[in-house]
Copies of this chain bind each other. A is one copy, B any other.
Amino acid sequence: MSDIQFDARGRLRHLLTLEGIGRQTLTALLDRADALRVMPGEAPRRQTWLAGRTVANLFFEPSTRTRASFELAARRLGADVLNLDMQSSSTVKGESLEDTLYTLEAMNVDVFVVRHKDEGVPTLLAMHAAPHVHVLNAGEAHLSHPTQGLLDVFTIRRHKKDISQLSVAIVGDIKHSRVARSVVRGLVTLGARDIRLAGPRSLLPKAGEMKGELFTDADKAVAGADVVMMLRIQKERMQKSSVPTVAAYFKRYGLDRRRLRLAKPGAIVMHPGPMNRGIEIAPDVADGPQSVIREQVTNGVAVRMAVLQGFYT
């Protein structure tokens, strides 16, 4: 499954998952993202790496944040971007996914950015893509969200130099989280050894499914951590869990100042967004000095630019 991500010369051709992407490839990608990063308000630098190329956003799940991030990344590299509303599209009329791919390829679309609630869709498209075409997974079922994983390890690397020495706590609905799966994969590749996954028992993955130690006690997971990453909790899943009310969830798993003080001094606070303030994170922590949540968003554009640029260098 991961082999399909590389071309004959071993270069990244699709980004479907962080599985199978080695430390050197990952590090080179993060280094390129460093060079492409622009802080909000800075004079923008126009790039032309993708001039004349067309990037299509195929979002079968609605998304504002991720779609916008990919769109801006592509445009800032000079690409044309085609936004396709896949809810009202030909697939609704019975066209197969492959035929949608073939059709857009035939219009000279060069890169497909795909989000889908079903497992395997990005891989299916990559398997059928023409040799010059690139597929980017922008969120696949509960399984994979590789550019989110990249932006997370990129953000951690900017703040905490030696990832192999870090303790990283991820708290929330781990079981259904493609974000958690991707960031854990990235952390492991970069040598992280102490990863803690905390949440209500029914929202934890099966033992051994993911690298990391499982916790139902958030205090224990956060204690001494260098990085505390909070995940969004869906109300319906919370209600079916062992901690069914917002107040109880916030008390047991939410990140407030008391709980954050259990982490290492200088620990950073992360969240992939969109945040439920007051449910999984206290507003003063989200906006506090240890939060790098907004920086994650800025870094998201940079890593997406780095991936796209890598296809054309």
The size of the chain A interface, using a CB distance under 8 A, is: 60
Q: Are A40 and B294 in contact (CB-based, < 8 A)?
A: no
A71-B82, A107-B297 known; A99 and B52 CB under 8 Å? no
CB nearest to A276 among chain B residues:
B94
- Taken residue by residue from 85 to 100, chain A's Cβ proximity to chain B (1 for < 8 Å, 0 otherwise) reads as 1101110011110011
CB nearest to A234 among chain B residues:
B93
Please give, as numbers and ranges, the residues of chain B lying within 8 Å of A274 by CB-CB distance. Answer: 90, 93-95, 99-100, 103
A69 and B69 alpha carbons, distance in the complex (Å) = 24
Cβ of A129 to closest chain B Cβ, rounded Å? 11
The answer to whether the Cβ of A10 comes within 8 Å of any Cβ in the partner chain is: no
A56 and B76 alpha carbons, distance in the complex (Å) = 15
Please give, as numbers and ranges, the residues of chain B lying within 8 Å of A40 by CB-CB distance. Answer: 105-108, 130, 132-133
Of the stretches A60-68, A192-200, A211-219, the one at the interface is A60-68
Q: Are B64 and A107 in contact (CB-based, < 8 A)?
A: no
Q: Are A95 and B273 in contact (CB-based, < 8 A)?
A: yes
Please give, as numbers and ranges, the residues of chain B lying within 8 Å of A276 by CB-CB distance. Answer: 94-95
A298 and B90 alpha carbons, distance in the complex (Å) = 17
Cβ-defined partner of A103 (8 Å) among B85, B88, B100, B297 = B297
Please give, as numbers and ranges, the residues of chain B lying within 8 Å of A86 by CB-CB distance. Answer: 64
Q: Are B68 and A106 in contact (CB-based, < 8 A)?
A: no
Cβ of A91 to closest chain B Cβ, rounded Å? 8
Cβ of A269 to closest chain B Cβ, rounded Å? 14
Question: Lowest 5 A-B CB distances belong to which pairs?
Answer: A106-B297, A44-B52, A95-B274, A41-B132, A64-B89
Extra A-B contacts (10), CB below 8 Å, given A40-B105, A65-B90: A40-B132, A41-B110, A41-B131, A44-B52, A56-B68, A62-B88, A68-B104, A71-B82, A96-B277, A103-B297
Binding site for B on A (CB under 8 A): 38, 40-46, 51-54, 56, 62, 64-65, 68-69, 71-72, 75-76, 80, 82, 84-86, 88-90, 93-96, 99-100, 102-108, 110, 130-133, 273-277, 294-298, 300-301
